[in-house]
Structure 1
Amino acid sequence: MLEAASDTNHTTIADTEIPPHRFRTVLSRFATGVVAIAALDTDDRPIGFTINSFTSVSLEPPLVAYCVTHTSRSWPSIRAARRHCLTILADTQRSVCTRLAGKELNKFEGLRWSSSPTGLPILANSLAWLECSVAAEYPAGDHVIVVARVHHAESGDAEEPLVFFESGYGTFDAS
């Protein structure tokens, strides 16, 4: 019979603090895809930003989730829009990603995009896109976790994903 070892010198979660820079460095070792979130503002101009915290949640009903920082200047307008579009970026879209991650006022100037069936911005040459509406929001530290209902989804023509790893961009070789 095996007996469990007892350790009386363990720490509790409340006793542990990880400095933000160390936490960011550790998490940078997790490769993720990159997604652009876009909508139209009240003047029908495209607005958006990029995220790398994106996941599927449910097939029935179709739900996805992503995290948005509290400091996002674009999120309040996107939240206020009835629907928004998520574009999964391809490896050829590094410059698109950099532009949407910036702080410029007109991030879509010079970017190629088309409209979804309901008029939302879909970035050209992407892997896929999903038209969504916010189903729920959950505060989580310095971010909000957004659960979105998917109303429409299509695959694009691109074949290779844009990958974010160790604070840099690359691609994925499936072989």
Structure 2
Amino acid sequence: MSPLREIMRHVPSSVAVITAVSEGTPIGMTVGSFTSASLDPPLVSFFAAKTSTTWPAIHTAGRFCVNVLSAGQPQLATAFAARDADRFGDRSWTPSPLGSPRLEGVVAWLDCELDAIHQVGDHLAVTGLVHGMHATGGARPLVFFRGELAGLS
């Protein structure tokens, strides 16, 4: 393990699933790097690995929904991180106002239009302009810390 990876294991990070619709099919991927980028205009950001097989389809869609996972959804984080898996299967979702999948039971969702992409080492920094959002009161988020998915207590 690289020294930086070892240190970064000690920094808790958010866990979100980025979803979109590509050629009529729902797609999604797990990210551990979701954050607010600007309040005015409302922008959010996440990092996508350059090796991601899902990112190119989300990029082409031009819009996406950030689904911030709840403490009770570690199985979703794992499913959407798996390569070549049927990530949606029989999971329930509804279309966001921009048409991207909103997953059930999430802490919050943000409906975004792709704003900018910047190359950053072995990742792409993706920024989205927020067009709609909603948070569920009282739900606890899922976080990634020391190599494990956990809820906050």
Q: TM-score range by the shorter chain?
A: over 0.9
Which residue is 2:132 aligned to? 152
Aligned-partner Cα distance in 1 for 2:102–2:138: 13
Whether contact under 8 Å (2:72, 2:151) holds in the other structure is no
CA shift for structure 1 position 114: 1.6
The structure with the greater share of residues assigned to strand is 2
Q: Which residue of 1 aligns with 2:11?
A: 30
- What is the aligned length? 153
> Cα distance 1:127–1:158, how it changes in 2: closer, same or farther (>3 A)?
farther
Higher relative contact order structure (alpha carbons within 8 Å, sequence separation ≥ 6): 2
Q: 1:131 Cα deviation (Å)?
A: 0.6
Return the index of the structure with the highest Cα Rg: 1
**Residue 30 of structure 1 contacts residue 165 of structure 1 at CA under 8 Å; is this kept in 2?**
yes
Partner of 2:49: 69
1:112 matched to 2:69? The reply is no
Runs of at least 5 residues in structure 2 that lack an aligned partner in the other structure: none
Q: CA deviation at 1:157?
A: 5.6
State the match for 2:36 in structure 1: 56
Percent identity of paired positions between Structure 1 and Structure 2: 35
Is the 8 Å Cα contact of residues 127 and 155 (structure 1) preserved in structure 2? yes
**Gaps spanning 5+ residues in structure 1: where?**
1-19
Equivalents in 2 of 1:105, 1:133: separation in Å?
A: 26
Normalised to the residue count of structure 1, the TM-score between the two structures is 0.83
Amino acid across the alignment from 1:31: P
Quick one: distance in 1 between partners of 2:143 and 2:78?
Answer: 13
Deviation beyond 2 Å, 4+ runs, structure 1: none
**In 2: Cα distance, 1:21 partner to 1:64 partner:** 28
1:17 counterpart residue number: none
Closer, same or farther: CA 39–130 of 1 in aligned 2, 3 Å: same
Aligned residue identity for 2:108: A
User: Which residue identity does 1:24 align to in structure 2?
Assistant: R
The DSSP-based 3-state class of the residue aligned with 1:137 is strand
TM-score by length of structure 2 reads 0.95
